Structure 1
Amino acid sequence: MENSAPKNVGSENDASKDPQGTPDRRPRSRRRVLIAAVAGCAVLGGLLTLLPWGPSGTRAARPAPGAQALAAVTKGVTAALPDLAVLIHEREAHLRTHPKDARAWAVLGAAYVEQGRRTAEPANYPKAEKALRASLRVRERNAEALDGMAALANARRDFHAARTWSEAALKVDRKRWTTYPLLIEAQTGMGDYKAAKRSLDRLLKLRSGPAVQARAAALYRDRGWREDAAAALSDAAAATEVPAERAAYLERAGQLAWERGDLEVALRHFQEAVRLDPDQRAALAGQGRTLAALGRSTEALNAYRAALAKQPLPEYALELGELYESLGLGQAARVQYDLLRERAARAAAGGVDEELVLGLLEADHGDTEMAVRRLRVEWRRQPGIAVADALGWALHRSGEDEEALKFARRATDRQKGGGVRSALYVYHRGMIERSLEMAGPARRHLEEALRINPHFSPTRVPLAEAALEELGEPSVEDVPDMDAEPRRK
């Protein structure tokens, strides 16, 4: 892959931690107030305009589109697509007469990364790499370009390279706060959750504000701290004045609400995100997911189609295909699965690793042996929790249940990083245990999956309910002995 990481770069030193080893977090009472405040703003979005006002009482002038996008890409936050187009045009015109401007090349590269991420157009990534490498040729020790290369590697799901590029940027400037979110994303993708937590600790000491709160929320969610994640996103959404950035945070808040089965809250967040930024296609896909769970199938199909029209991510095609399948439209589902394979092939041509979604597709709707092969390779490359879950499920689907359970346990074991409260992961573990005739654990995990989110999948929820009915009521053997001595390791 062209996006190879630099060699012989320095690593970070450990930072100090509090006695519990957890990042500083705000008092829960304050967070609850903030959650209520943001929810109120979402409900009254059509009546309130949260824009800055000047000292004379008139509304302050907004920055020019190119300047807005520049501020966004240099902070690593979501930029509006029209503003990005302006910024790219401006930087390309500037570089035609100033080809030795390292910073301009770095900004152009970062803008292409963001445009590729927001449109799911993989052709942007080779352009981004060309611009970023041009910046590094002009000035080798160039933290902005190194950050851009890290962002590009994360967008391509090459987390090993992203970690190395991030560490290279920190070797240039240890206090460069914008590098830490990139490093945390890479460390999480590699399954190194302890390192990600240490990096977040350092970031919180260097910087506060919406971008940092949103990054903290992602780690809190991965640790299973849902209330803290929701509060951090509420803080972030309340603090930013940029519509595209606020929309991105509301989309993530909607995803959190979806994951806990709070459909009405999720739908409000997704709708407000699209109102603020009509190009927020992740929120449109979120609407599709939520509307399907609410039984509003026609609206759900329309939302998914709109999301795929402007951001054709393979995972959206997988979700839409499974929705068609749940409605008895097998042929329409197969069309989406074929489109997924085509889009994944296009993404691979742009250097994007889509092995995870391809493995999930093949495990449930294609060649299970191919799914296992793909996901074994992916696990060796970047052993994150999502890959552990997918590989465990693929092994189960191919009949290798004992090995499958090892990976399913890893995906749901807090001690190994699997703290995320995922109904899908717990469902997978329960079904594997059922196949191994472990009735008690299977029942507990299938019930837990439905408690976490009773609507987590249009195809799998009926299967979980049927499996529970087949397992029947728990027996005496299923009840743990509370007086027993703990097992020594």
Structure 2
Amino acid sequence: MLAAGTVTVLGVGLFLGGGLALAPWNATQSDRSAGSAGAASGPTAGADPLAADIAGLQQHLRTAPRDAVALATLGLDYVQQAKSTADPTYYPKAEGVLTRSLASQKKDNFTAMGGMAALEAGRHRFTQALDWAEQAVAVNPYSSPLYGTLADAYTQLGRYAEAADATQRMVDLKPGAPSLSRASYVAELRGDITTARTDMRRALNDSAGPADQAFAHYYLGELAFNNGDPATELKEAEAGLRVAPSYTALFQAKARAETALGKTDAAIADLTRAVQRVPQPEYILQLGELYQSLGRTKQADEQYRIFRAEQQLFTTNGVALDSDAALFEADHGNPQQALAIARKGLATRPFLETHDALAWSLHVNGRDQEALDEANQALAPGMRSALFHYHRAMIEKSLGDNKAAREDLTAALTINPHFSPLYAPTARAALTTLKTSA
């Protein structure tokens, strides 16, 4: 259900953005998700500055192979390249050069420490990411970006109060697009959408260039869509594309809005464009579920085969699977495998989205009482999520608690009646049945 799952997109991409901001060059994109490889990403128009930076650093290191700062910077570049291209083979490369940087300068090398935090976040190893972030902050307690890496690790480990404190410290040290986008996310996680929009609008106003503007437009659109306003998401996506026409994630956002507005041909075209440019698993699954909702089973199955192949590639390169893979197996594959992935994922990433994935995996395996406990934990922080409410409603329905199921289905469809082209219609049908039988 990645088409509806914005939490991974925001959370993990946020972490990566924090690590990248440590680098001694001017980053063109202050990423907020996600994720797993689902973070908003996309090159700016013209030459790719990241590829140029990588080439320049590689050339420099041929003559200065022990330059600790250059090695750390190259490692950060590789982490960003893995995310931007959906190619996890960059993660082992990043680990190699970051390890060399730390070997060359072990003491006070906060850039490499921050790079390791970003790398471990990209691989969904959040306990290790927190350890590296804490080491980096201990060396340089006045770095705003380092508090961003710290905040992001706390978030993914379910330590939301500590994440909020670290984010506030980041804002205090340097108010700007990277810190304000995190503040927006902190507000969104507790259900304060007004503050989340205000902070993201401030991030847009503080954007350093077209890619940062596109990034802010993307997440303003996310906030709109996730709260039932696809028309505004479409406007934000179009505004972002006017300033950064090659920002790939905006095509995905545009397609999500078009799907909700009944423009499915346009949505397929935009999602196909996004997948062809950057084959992010999120985009692929969104396209597959759109095809499935239209009864185009063959095309949907092809996207699901690609999704599975990508998950295997990520696993091979050290990325731990959790909520996205668990939900995919629960909805489109093997329920037992979904449960195994979700349980393992919760052990390493006790984030609200992983609680929801475990709840749903337990449900499809007929273990609804356990599922309800996990669904309650997913909703406890206050996040306004139509998907979470839908999952809990169906669990409650299976348990025979029709009153609670009606309440959660109503909440889901009130928050966002378009949350999924596959499951929003199911939610409406279930609510109608429950009202009729009441």
Q: One fold, TM greater than 0.5? A: yes
2:303 to 336, 359, 362: 336
1:103 to 62, 69, 78: 69
Query: 1:70 aligns to what SS in structure 2?
Result: coil
Query: 1:72 aligns to what SS in structure 2?
Result: coil
1:226 maps to 2:193? yes
Take 2:403 and 2:30, find their aligned partners in 1: how far apart are those partners?
49
Take 2:58 and 2:29, find their aligned partners in 1: how far apart are those partners?
17
**Paired residues of 1:314 and 1:357 also in contact (CA < 8 A):** no
Take 1:145 and 1:171, find their aligned partners in 2: how far apart are those partners?
13
Query: 1:100 aligns to what SS in structure 2?
Result: coil
Take 1:289 and 1:431, find their aligned partners in 2: how far apart are those partners?
24
- Structure 2 gaps of 5+ residues are 1-22, 33-40
Query: 1:458 aligns to what SS in structure 2?
Result: coil
Deviation at 1:69, TM superposition (A): 9.0
1:93 maps to 2:64? no
**Paired residues of 1:281 and 1:307 also in contact (CA < 8 A):** yes
Deviation at 1:474, TM superposition (A): 8.8
Take 1:168 and 1:250, find their aligned partners in 2: how far apart are those partners?
33
- TM-score after normalising by structure 2: 0.88
Deviation at 1:86, TM superposition (A): 1.1
Take 2:327 and 2:31, find their aligned partners in 1: how far apart are those partners?
29
Indicate the residue corresponding to 1:277 in structure 2. Answer: 244
Indicate the residue corresponding to 1:431 in structure 2. Answer: 394
**Which structure would you say has the larger Rg?**
1
Indicate the residue corresponding to 1:133 in structure 2. Answer: 99
Take 1:120 and 1:113, find their aligned partners in 2: how far apart are those partners?
10
1:441 maps to 2:423? no
Taking only aligned residues, the RMSD between alpha carbons, in angstroms, comes to 1.9
1:314-337 Cα offsets, whole Å, 9 max, x none, are 222222111111100112111111
**Paired residues of 1:160 and 1:186 also in contact (CA < 8 A):** yes
1:380 maps to 2:335? no
Change (3 A) 1:405 1:193: same
1:412 to 379, 382, 388: 379
**Paired residues of 2:28 and 2:211 also in contact (CA < 8 A):** no
Deviation at 1:275, TM superposition (A): 3.1
Indicate the residue corresponding to 1:467 in structure 2. Answer: 430
- Structure 1 gaps of 5+ residues are 1-67, 476-489
Query: 2:144 aligns to what SS in structure 1?
Result: coil
Change (3 A) 1:74 1:273: closer
Deviation at 1:391, TM superposition (A): 0.7
Change (3 A) 1:76 1:311: closer
> Paired residues, what number?
404
**Paired residues of 2:69 and 2:101 also in contact (CA < 8 A):** yes
Take 1:245 and 1:400, find their aligned partners in 2: how far apart are those partners?
44
2:171 to 196, 204, 215: 204
Deviation at 1:309, TM superposition (A): 1.5
1:31-80 Cα offsets, whole Å, 9 max, x none, are xxxxxxxxxxxxxxxxxxxxxxxxxxxxxxxxxxxxx9921179878874
Indicate the residue corresponding to 1:354 in structure 2. Answer: 321
**Paired residues of 2:291 and 2:297 also in contact (CA < 8 A):** yes
Indicate the residue corresponding to 1:120 in structure 2. Answer: 86
Take 1:75 and 1:230, find their aligned partners in 2: how far apart are those partners?
17
**Paired residues of 1:304 and 1:320 also in contact (CA < 8 A):** yes
Take 1:355 and 1:315, find their aligned partners in 2: how far apart are those partners?
14
**Paired residues of 1:69 and 1:83 also in contact (CA < 8 A):** no
1:423-456 Cα offsets, whole Å, 9 max, x none, are 0001111111111111111101101100000100
Take 1:74 and 1:328, find their aligned partners in 2: how far apart are those partners?
38
Higher RCO, Cα 8 Å, sep 6+ = 2
- TM-score after normalising by structure 1: 0.79
Deviation at 1:473, TM superposition (A): 5.7
**Paired residues of 1:440 and 1:474 also in contact (CA < 8 A):** no
Take 1:352 and 1:255, find their aligned partners in 2: how far apart are those partners?
25
Deviation at 1:201, TM superposition (A): 2.5
1:89-137 Cα offsets, whole Å, 9 max, x none, are 1111111111222111111111111121111111221121112111111
Change (3 A) 1:242 1:182: same
Q: How does 1:257-296 map to 2 (within 5 A)?
A: 257-296=224-263
1:217 maps to 2:184? yes
Indicate the residue corresponding to 1:304 in structure 2. Answer: 271
Take 1:374 and 1:463, find their aligned partners in 2: how far apart are those partners?
25
Deviation at 1:421, TM superposition (A): 0.5
Deviation at 1:205, TM superposition (A): 2.4
Take 1:99 and 1:75, find their aligned partners in 2: how far apart are those partners?
29
Take 1:211 and 1:345, find their aligned partners in 2: how far apart are those partners?
32
Take 1:466 and 1:313, find their aligned partners in 2: how far apart are those partners?
31
